[in-house]
Chain A
């Protein structure tokens, strides 16, 4: 369990993390979201013990990262932003080095290295020096070193940044397969990633938490929650049909496709039955009809911009 309480990190006058408190339990995959410069990476650097907090504390399974740094660091696997590694070493040499630093000895070293090489599919680049590897492979080498000691806490700073869709899928599958008894913290800009792998999403802006919940909880805060998207094959005065319908807040037409409408629900209540009924009655020429779960992107924008507005005042 990770306990972060009243964590503040200042760089000179700039407050990167502002009195942040959150606790994360085993089994949670926490998606850490926020605009650039919101303090995501800084928070991760403090949790992993790279930076020391200005005030407040971080404990990992009871070990304070400031006072019991080594014990805490043993529990953590960390992929720093950009997946740095020693370029002049080969994949195998680098992973052996990590295995040794992680305290493995003798045959264990080769076992662990082989295991992670298989896990993240690095077999083809075992003996290639890391600086010659492609971005995707470098990222995977970084992941391999982070998961080698089967850490209780896995902290990944933008693990899929710069990967192609196949590689992204692979990394996400890997994260999901790890997650059952671990704590995983992922920072990302990619919101679909949060819906895909995270059990909890925390959005921060200006060093403060502005939203915290499961991805579907956050989605339900969106004005798109329960909205219905309809695409017609032919023009039809859909707006007039639904205007008087109870529960409908408003209707919008997409700008680049005049036949695509979004019908917003009032207060997040379901309007599916009403709308589908009237669609049948009025014989809408429908080609597509679906209910939106809500858009994380929409929530993200509204909570982070709100917070920016507050600080500007």
Chain B
């Protein structure tokens, strides 16, 4: 097993060694249920799809994902274990990726455990399961985007609460970037390409189409590049700030 794998395993293990993973999963499932059935009108719509379920994910992730991401590096710096970790024969990229992947897999596990809703919709009707698989994947990639931002913010500070707040703020920005509410506020003299570029960075732009079943490889590519970019930024921030 490579060092990346070893760090990944340790991180994932530590989520489950503390109540964190269980609390996260339980709260995630409960809020998902409330959003889908109460607010989303899952039954009232009378349609065999999971649109109300996935539609709330960006807003759910906005608060849930930063909660996992906030400790990623902030705690390492606070307890001094970062000094231990980075003086072991481990490349920084392995540490950054290993930690990120562990948190990402945790969100993946939580997401997978929403499968009863998939079973329900199949029992009640005849949904397009291909669309649902794609939407699940898209949702997971979006969670990865949130996490990567969180990783970078967590590297910026020793204080995990500050990391949480910063992450929520920046994630919120990326969520609403693609929303019409924001785009309509641009004055008319702003060139269209700038508005388009702005909108293209928004999570909703990409996630909405995935959730509706429009499987465009570019949307996945967007999230992959987005994750890569923020993880690179994390590594740079860690390198710069580890001294203090």
Interface on A for B, CB 8 Å cutoff? 11, 45, 48-51, 70, 73-74, 76, 78, 80-82, 84-89, 93, 97-98, 100-103, 129, 145
A73 touches B17 (CB 8 A): no
- The 6 A-B pairs with the shortest beta carbon distances in the complex, nearest first, are A84-B80, A80-B83, A73-B89, A48-B87, A84-B81, A100-B6
Does B3 belong to the interface (CB within 8 Å)?
yes
Question: Which residues on B sit within 8 Å (CB–CB) of A103?
Answer: 89
Complex: chain B residue closest to A90, CB-CB: B17
Question: Which residues on B sit within 8 Å (CB–CB) of A97?
Answer: 6, 10
Q: Which of B6, B13, B17, B83 contacts A101 (CB 8 A)?
A: B6
Complex: chain B residue closest to A52, CB-CB: B239
Query: Chain A CB within 10 Å — which of B17, B79, B87, B91 has the most?
Result: B87
A-B contact pairs, 16 of them (CB 8 A): A48-B87, A50-B83, A50-B242, A70-B91, A76-B87, A80-B80, A84-B79, A84-B83, A85-B84, A89-B10, A89-B13, A89-B14, A101-B3, A101-B7, A103-B89, A145-B84
Given A51-B243, A87-B79, A101-B3: A80 and B18 within 8 A (CB)?
A: no
B88 touches A73 (CB 8 A): yes
Q: Bound complex: CA of A85 vs CA of B80, how far in Å?
A: 8
Q: Bound complex: CA of A47 vs CA of B13, how far in Å?
A: 31
Nearest Cβ on chain A to B177's Cβ, whole angstroms: 36
Nearest Cβ on chain B to A69's Cβ, whole angstroms: 8
A102 touches B89 (CB 8 A): yes
Q: Bound complex: CA of A93 vs CA of B79, how far in Å?
A: 18
B78-114 vs A, Cβ < 8 Å mask (1 yes, 0 no): 0111011011111100000000000000000000000
Does B119 belong to the interface (CB within 8 Å)?
no
Chain B count of residues within 8 A CB distance of the other chain: 23
Q: Which of A45, A88, A101, A102 contacts B14 (CB 8 A)?
A: A88
Question: Which residues on B sit within 8 Å (CB–CB) of A101?
Answer: 3, 6-7, 88-90
Question: Which residues on A sit within 8 Å (CB–CB) of B242?
Answer: 50-51
Nearest Cβ on chain B to A177's Cβ, whole angstroms: 23
Does B1 belong to the interface (CB within 8 Å)?
yes
Question: Which residues on A sit within 8 Å (CB–CB) of B91?
Answer: 70
B144-177 vs A, Cβ < 8 Å mask (1 yes, 0 no): 0000000000000000000000000000000000
Nearest Cβ on chain B to A147's Cβ, whole angstroms: 14
Given A88-B18, A102-B89: A80 and B84 within 8 A (CB)?
A: yes
Instruction: Add 18 more A-B contacts to A45-B243, A73-B87 (CB < 8 A).
Output: A11-B243, A49-B86, A50-B83, A51-B242, A51-B243, A73-B89, A76-B87, A82-B80, A84-B79, A85-B81, A85-B84, A86-B14, A86-B81, A88-B17, A93-B13, A101-B6, A101-B7, A102-B89
Q: Bound complex: CA of A80 vs CA of B14, how far in Å?
A: 22
B220-244 vs A, Cβ < 8 Å mask (1 yes, 0 no): 0000000000000000000000111
Q: Bound complex: CA of A97 vs CA of B14, how far in Å?
A: 12
A84 touches B87 (CB 8 A): no
A81 touches B10 (CB 8 A): no
Nearest Cβ on chain A to B193's Cβ, whole angstroms: 41
Question: Which residues on A sit within 8 Å (CB–CB) of B243?
Answer: 11, 45, 51
B87 touches A78 (CB 8 A): yes
Complex: chain B residue closest to A71, CB-CB: B89
Given A89-B17, A97-B6, A100-B6: A50 and B80 within 8 A (CB)?
A: no
Q: Bound complex: CA of A51 vs CA of B239, how far in Å?
A: 9
A98 touches B79 (CB 8 A): no
Query: Chain A CB within 10 Å — which of B13, B83, B91, B242 has the most?
Result: B83
Nearest Cβ on chain A to B202's Cβ, whole angstroms: 37
Nearest Cβ on chain B to A140's Cβ, whole angstroms: 15
Query: Chain A CB within 10 Å — which of B6, B18, B91, B242 has the most?
Result: B6
Question: Which residues on A sit within 8 Å (CB–CB) of B80?
Answer: 80-82, 84
Q: Bound complex: CA of A93 vs CA of B87, how far in Å?
A: 19
Question: Which residues on B sit within 8 Å (CB–CB) of A45?
Answer: 83, 243
Nearest Cβ on chain A to B15's Cβ, whole angstroms: 9
Question: Which residues on B sit within 8 Å (CB–CB) of A76?
Answer: 87
